[in-house]
Structures are given as C-alpha cells and as structure tokens.
C-alpha cells in the first residue's frame, strides 16, 4: 500500500499535538516496524546497543547540529519525560537554592516552566500577559535584573497562537522551549544556550524530547542528583543512560531527514504562505475573527480564531467533518478554533480549509 499526502482516505489533520506527520515518514516508519533495513528484525526488536541503533543516534545528533548550524560547543540529547520534565530539569541543574532565574510568561507552558522552577530556587517573572489571557506577547524588560543564572522563554505559544519572530538579546544564558515551532523558520540557534523540543508537534511521535545545550552550561550543575536528572550524566552515556525510546527516536530521525531534504528555506516559505492564506481568510470572512490582534505576534504554527456568533462554532466543526477536515477545535482555555500548521501540513490542506470557511459563510447568507 502506498500512501500520499493527497490520499483521499487520509484526513486533513490540523491537530495541535500529537500532530500530522508526512505520509512518506509514516510509510517509512511502518516499513521499519515490519523489517528494519532488511535486517530480519523489526525496529521494535533491536537492542539499543546494536550498531544499527547507534547509527540512528549518531545520524540524528549530526542532523540536528547541521540543521541548527551549531558546532561542537553544543551537545544533543534525546531524553524522556516530555517538555514537562525539562521544566523541572532546567532549574534542578542550573538554579541553586538561593540563586535567581528569569522567566518570560507568554502562555500556559511558559507559566508551567516558571512554576516548576520555583521549587528549586528564586524564579522571577520578568514579564507576563496572563492578565489578558495571553492574547499578545509580553514585552521583554529593557534591562534584566542583575545576577540571573538564565532566562527562560517559549518561542511559540501552542495554545494561544502567538510566536516570537525575533531572537531576544540576552546577556545571560537564554533557554527556550521550541516544542511547537522547531525548524519552521530560520533561527539563529547559536543565540540560545539551550533549547528543547517535545517532538510530537513538529518533529515526530510522542515519547522523546530533543535537548540541545552548550557544553559549558551542562557543567554548571548546582546540586547533587541522581544521574537520570543530570544533563551531564545523560551526555556521558550518549543519551543511553536508560533504554532510550528507540522507535520514537527513529521517527524523529525520519523527520530530520525529511526536513533536510526539503530544506528550511522551502519549509519556511511554505509556512508563510499557509499562515497568510489562513489569516487572510479569517480577516475576510464575516463569520470569523482572529484571537490575536497584534499581527506581529501571530503564530505561523497555531492559528487561533473564534466565530462572532459562538453558535456557529460547533456548526463549522461539523461542516469541516464532511470535508475530511479534523483537529480544528480550540483549546478549552481559548475556545473557538485552533488550526495547527506544522511543517507536515500541506498548503493544499490549508487551501481546502480556507475553501470550507468560504463555503460555510456562503451557506449562512
Ligand atoms: C506540548 C507542549 C509542551 C508539553 O509537552 P509534554 O510533552 O506534554 O510535556 C510544552 N511546551 C510547549 C510549547 C508545548 O507545545
């Protein structure tokens, strides 16, 4: 069986995460489950110390550095526990009990990272837009307080549909959660001391978290902890301190190869087209309105909008279902709709959605 992105049996998937994957990646993953690389074994049956898996790890680390244009000052780790575990490991490793760290609160995930850090040291909020339900990005302080060990931010706010389109200047180590917009656009990764990605949005299947950090940061461990909680220990064991999630890492490798083959230039250009198409239909259409008013803060990955008349919300979701469109319901804290336009979502899929919005409006008149 072959499967393509235009396969009519496949739904147009706009879910926020786990999310759409390219048809060719699904196909390669499916084939590897049956027989990995003509080995007579499934990818699910290969010991993680085998040469076959060590090669998967090596290639994946190398591709991350290449796509991020980073040198050997950086370490690439594949860890478990999701984005949420990183919220804990960052302060455990880098924030001493009486030390300070700064957090930019741009949404639910950013705030969760801040709350986790408070258990370990003096985490300070540098800016927040919580009081306006995160409808635009917070302003970074013109000057950072003295003595911060690091500043933590979130580049794309998956729930609220806002995205940081520039890299802030920061004279202390900058740590970013890039879970929902990694490789969606050009970015100077060398400006970040560390970034991490729970992969089920834009880089694979749930079960693994990509962590990239500067080796000198990794050395600044502030407390003695079990190895499982210490970046340095994971690094010393090449992310094989415990049995790594072999299959999830393999799917991420397939995504990395797919990303490299398309090129970040082409991916970014198409992401801009997809986002412009959808935002302009929302603006034009009399049924809908955008949630994020500040155009410069709008996310290219998660597009949030509502219906002027909320009784149209369920009706539009039902209408979309008849056109094979799924995953557009907004997060409960925002309501309305959230359409995720991750790298694997095609322009054709977005065109189909925009057409459905257009036809829905027409039917109401
Ligand atoms: C989904 C998401 C998370 C949470 O990831 P888990 O793997 O569920 O812990 C964290 N940060 C961002 C930006 C996300 O989109």
Q: Which pLDDT tens digit goes with each residue over 155-214?
A: 999 999 999 999 998 999 999 999 999 999 999 999 999 999 999 999 999 999 999 999
Angstrom distance (rounded) from CA 319 to CA 331:
19
- Ligand 1 pocket test target in 109, 134, 203 with most atoms within 8 Å of CB: 109
Q: Cβ contacts of residue 111 below 8 Å, gap of 6+?
A: 105, 128, 130
pLDDT score of 3: 67
Under DSSP, is residue 189 helix (H, G, I), strand (E, B) or coil?
helix
pLDDT, averaged across the chain: 96
- Please report the domains of the chain, with CATH numbers, ordered by start residue: 27-262 (3.40.640.10), 263-364 (3.90.1150.10)
Other CB atoms within a 10 A radius of the CB of residue 128 amount to: 17
CB 207 within 8 A of CB 80: yes
Angstrom distance (rounded) from CA 241 to CA 224:
17
**Closest residue by CA, ligand 1 atom 4:** 83
Phi-psi bin for 108: left (phi > 0), alpha (psi -120 to 50), beta?
alpha
pLDDT score of 9: 80
Catalytic residue among 78, 201, 258, 329: 201
48 CA from centroid of ligand 1 (Å): 26
CA-based Rg of the chain, rounded to a whole angstrom?
Answer: 21
- Ligand 1 pocket test target in 179, 200, 202, 248 with most atoms within 8 Å of CB: 179
**Closest residue by CA, ligand 1 atom 12:** 179
To 5 degrees, how large is the angle CA 328–CA 285–CA 11? 30
For residue 96, pLDDT over 80 is answered with: yes
Angstrom distance (rounded) from CA 142 to CA 244:
42
- Is the pTM here over 0.95, yes or no? yes
102 CA from centroid of ligand 1 (Å): 20
Catalytic residue among 109, 181, 274, 329: 109
**Which residue, 167, 189, 183, 239, is CA-closest to 70?**
189
DSSP 312: H
Ligand 1 binding site (Cβ under 6 Å of any ligand atom):
17, 82-84, 109, 154, 158, 177, 179-180, 198, 201
Unique residue bearing structure tokens 């829905």:
360
For residue 1, name the pLDDT band (cuts at 50, 70, 90). Answer: low
Angstrom distance (rounded) from CA 118 to CA 141:
20
**Closest residue by CA, ligand 1 atom 14:** 179
């Amino acid at each position: 069986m072959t499967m393509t992105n235009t396969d009519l049996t496949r739904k147009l998937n706009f879910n926020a995460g786990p999310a759409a994957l390219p048809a060719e990646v699904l196909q390669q993953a499916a084939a590897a489950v049956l027989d990995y690389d003509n080995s007579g074994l499934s990818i699910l049956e290969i010991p993680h110390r085998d040469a076959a898996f060590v090669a998967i790890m090596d290639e994946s680390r190398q591709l991350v550095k290449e796509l991020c244009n980073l040198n050997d000052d950086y370490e690439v780790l594949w860890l478990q526990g999701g984005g949420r575990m990183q919220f804990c490991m960052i302060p455990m490793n880098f924030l001493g009990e009486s030390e300070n760290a700064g957090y930019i609160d741009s949404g639910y995930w950013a705030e969760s990272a801040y709350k986790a850090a408070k258990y370990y040291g003096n985490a300070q909020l540098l800016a927040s837009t919580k009081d306006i339900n995160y409808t635009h990005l917070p302003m970074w302080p013109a000057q950072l307080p003295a003595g911060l060990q690091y500043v933590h931010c979130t580049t794309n706010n998956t729930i609220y549909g806002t995205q940081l389109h520039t890299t802030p200047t920061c004279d202390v180590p900058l740590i970013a959660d890039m879970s929902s917009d990694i490789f969606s656009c050009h970015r100077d990764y060398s400006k970040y001391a560390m970034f991490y990605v729970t992969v089920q949005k834009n880089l694979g299947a749930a079960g693994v978290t990509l962590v990239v950090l500067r080796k000198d940061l990794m050395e600044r461990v502030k407390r003695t902890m079990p190895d499982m909680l210490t970046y340095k220990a994971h690094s010393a064991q090449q992310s094989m301190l415990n049995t790594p999630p072999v299959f999830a890492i393999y799917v991420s490798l397939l995504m990395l190869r797919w990303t490299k083959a398309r090129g970040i230039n082409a991916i970014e250009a198409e992401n801009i087209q997809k986002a412009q198409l959808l935002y302009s239909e929302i603006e034009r259409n009399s049924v809908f309105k955008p949630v994020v008013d500040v155009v410069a803060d709008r996310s290219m990955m998660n597009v949030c909008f509502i219906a002027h008349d909320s009784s149209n919300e369920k009706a539009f979701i039902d209408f979309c279902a008849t056109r094979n469109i799924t995953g557009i319901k907004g997060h409960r804290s925002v309501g309305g709709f959230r359409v995720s336009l991750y790298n694997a979502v095609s322009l054709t899929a977005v065109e189909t959605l925009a057409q459905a919005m257009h036809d829905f409006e027409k039917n109401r008149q």
